[in-house]
A and B are shown apart, each in its own frame.
Chain A
Amino acid sequence: MPKVIRSTVIDRPIDEVWGVLRDFNGHDRWHPVVADSEIERGQPSDRVGCVRRFHLRDGRELRELLLTLSDADTAYSYCLLETPIPLLNYVAHVRLAPVTDGDRTFWHWESRFDTPAGREQELATLVGREVYESGFTAIRAHLGQGAAS
């Protein structure tokens, strides 16, 4: 079962970063691979158990379920319900922590999943680079921080 971990430091206060990330339906506003997103059944996006249905830029549709959300821990986790990409039993965790030294934000993003045999490396790289690392870069741009840090 591949495990993918990516982490970075965003040069903005944690309240700002969490303000963007805690919206489970907000990823189409900052993540470059997400074209549109909606929460099913008109539920609020911070209701644990809600499902986001979204499309990638190439038109493929995915559904993800919010498993946990904690303002106290600045963290959430979610799983894939339906995906055209063969990521099976995919569960991901996002966690932010304040870097008090410099008023910055530590961002940890990890997941575990199964894949068809032989595709572990390919899919782990896809998740790590195309989803997590490109998400880091996109949040920096979204928060006006620029590419560096």
Chain B
Amino acid sequence: MPRVYVSSVIDAPASRVWERIRDFNALPRWHPRIRDSRIENGEPADRVGCVRDFHLQNGERIRERLLGLSDYDMFCTYAILESPMPITDYVATLRLTPITDGDRTFAEWTAEFECAAEAASDLVGGIGQNVFQAGFDSLKRQMAS
């Protein structure tokens, strides 16, 4: 099962970063590749089981279900329900951990999924760079300002 792991350091307290990312409907506010997002059936965005339906800047549509959310451990786990990517069984977790030295944030983003063997390396690289690292880069910029 291919696995993606990307981690970074964000120069802001974990509670501040968490405020930004815990909202499952807030991707367009911090991730540069996301154009719009809504939660289906008017549910609250922190209701475990809710589904976000969003579009990338290029118009592609993705639906994802919130599987787990913890304000105590500062993580969010979700699964892809529909996407244009040739993958199945995609489950990802975004997790924050405080760095006491300097009151910063250690951010980790992992995903596992199934796909055709020959596509795995491109998908792992693309998700890691274009989705996860791009998201962290954007958070680093936003939190610095």
Contact = CB atoms under 8 A, between A and B. Distances in A.
Contacts of B136: 101
List 4 tightest A-B contacts by C-beta distance, closest first. A101-B8, A8-B101, A106-B106, A7-B99
Contacts of B108: 97
Task: Tell me the interface secondary structure of chain A in the complex.
Answer: strand
Contact-size category for A: 10 to 19
B93 interface: no
A125 B133 CA distance: 36
Interface of A: 5-9, 97-102, 104, 106, 108, 133, 136
Contact of B7 (A8, A100, A133, A136): A100
A102 B107 CA distance: 13
A9 B5 CA distance: 17
Contacts of A108: 97
A99 B9 CA distance: 7
Contacts, number: 51
Contact of A8 (B5, B6, B8, B99): B99
Specify which of A7, A108, A136 lies most central, judged by the most chain B CB atoms within 10 Å of its CB.
A7
A136 B9 contact: no
26 contacts: A5-B98, A5-B100, A6-B100, A6-B101, A7-B100, A7-B101, A9-B9, A9-B106, A97-B7, A97-B106, A97-B108, A99-B7, A99-B8, A99-B9, A100-B5, A100-B6, A100-B133, A101-B6, A101-B8, A101-B9, A101-B133, A106-B97, A106-B99, A106-B106, A133-B101, A136-B101
